[in-house]
Amino acid sequence: MKKILTVLSNWGYWGEELVGPLEVLDGAGYEATFVTPKGTKPVALTPSMDPTYIDPPLGRPVTSEEMARKTRELENSTRLNNPLNLSTWFPERPYLSSPSYLRDLEAYHHTLEKVQQDLEQYEALLLVGGSGPIVDMVNNQRVHDLILSFLKVDKPIAAECYGVACLAFARDFQARQSIIWGKHVTGHPLEFDYKDGTGFMGTDFNMGPPPYPLEFILRDAVGPDGQYHGNVGRETSVIVDFPFITGRSTACSHLVGVKLVEVMEKGLKRFGW
């Protein structure tokens, strides 16, 4: 079976944003391999399993009874039990102030090149959203290197909701320009930003509103020749600008999976703009 590498936060993923594309990929005959920043089992955010939860900015439930059930079933299965550990798989870039910086940097690049060979078995990369990625994926250098590795070999990279922010900050360490510069993307718009967060798994901490407006980050990251598409007022917003497939939020999850398969199997290069 062809494999898809799927990145999940250890601080909570949104159920449908995994279940949606996963169902499409399963149905198309792809095998999902899961990886988390620390290698521990990912956990679905509680609101994403609660069909009575009212999304504050939208003023309505965003999780159906069926999707809540499917997320609980996935949580109770063993499918997510043994994800790959990104922190032991990919090397850490050394501090510039390290007294052995040059040797450390050489070792980093040497290890990274060897690790990148492991990725040849995967057809695409999927970054699942939720509030958790804000904590341990968006500014994770290893996640950035994973993204850059797929970009280097021109393989599809799909990202959902707050997972899209990872693309904005993944950049060549020398050029330091976002990889989505000049691209068309979508992501969480200002109109969808909440005033009180849905929380993070494994802690009582609630930071209130999102720590950053994702729309502003994406607008700046694509530059003057790219474009951010919020598509506010439309039920879904999925943008394909190869090699990137970006989904705005929960309701787009299934369509992200559909478009990812079309990119891989039908050569789709552009959609939604």
What secondary structure letter does DSSP report for 250? G
Distance between CA atoms of residues 67 and 39, nearest Å: 25
Among candidates 158, 129, 185, 190, which has minimal Cα distance to 255?
A: 158
What secondary structure letter does DSSP report for 273? -
What secondary structure letter does DSSP report for 229? E
Secondary structure element (H or E) that encloses residue 187, with its range: none
First to last CA, the chain: 32
Give the C-alpha distances (Å, rounded to integers) separating 17 from 48, 67, 126, 160, 181: 9, 10, 10, 7, 25
pLDDT tens per residue across span 198-245 = 778 877 877 888 899 999 999 999 999 999 999 999 999 999 999 999
Q: What's the mean pLDDT in 110-118?
A: 96
Distance between CA atoms of residues 24 and 159, nearest Å: 15
Query: What type of residue is 183?
Result: K
Distance between CA atoms of residues 44 and 25, nearest Å: 19
Angle at 14 between CA 13 and CA 19, to 5 degrees: 105
* Whole-model pTM over 0.95: yes
Query: What type of residue is 230?
Result: G
pLDDT tens per residue across span 28-73 = 999 999 999 999 999 999 999 999 999 989 999 999 999 999 999 9
pLDDT tens per residue across span 119-165 = 999 999 999 999 999 999 999 999 999 999 999 999 999 999 999 99
DSSP string, 82-143: S-EEHHHHSPPPPPTT-TTHHHHHHHHHHHHHHHHHHGGGEEEEEE--SSHHHHHTTT-HHH
At 206 the pLDDT is 79
Give the C-alpha distances (Å, rounded to integers) separating 102 from 7, 111, 175, 176: 30, 14, 19, 20
pLDDT band of 173, cuts 50, 70, 90: confident
For residue 98, pLDDT beyond 90 = yes
Angle at 236 between CA 235 and CA 241, to 5 degrees: 160
Query: Can you give the residue ranges of every domain in the chain?
Result: 2-271
Question: For the domain bounded by 2-271, which CATH number is listed?
Answer: 3.40.50.880
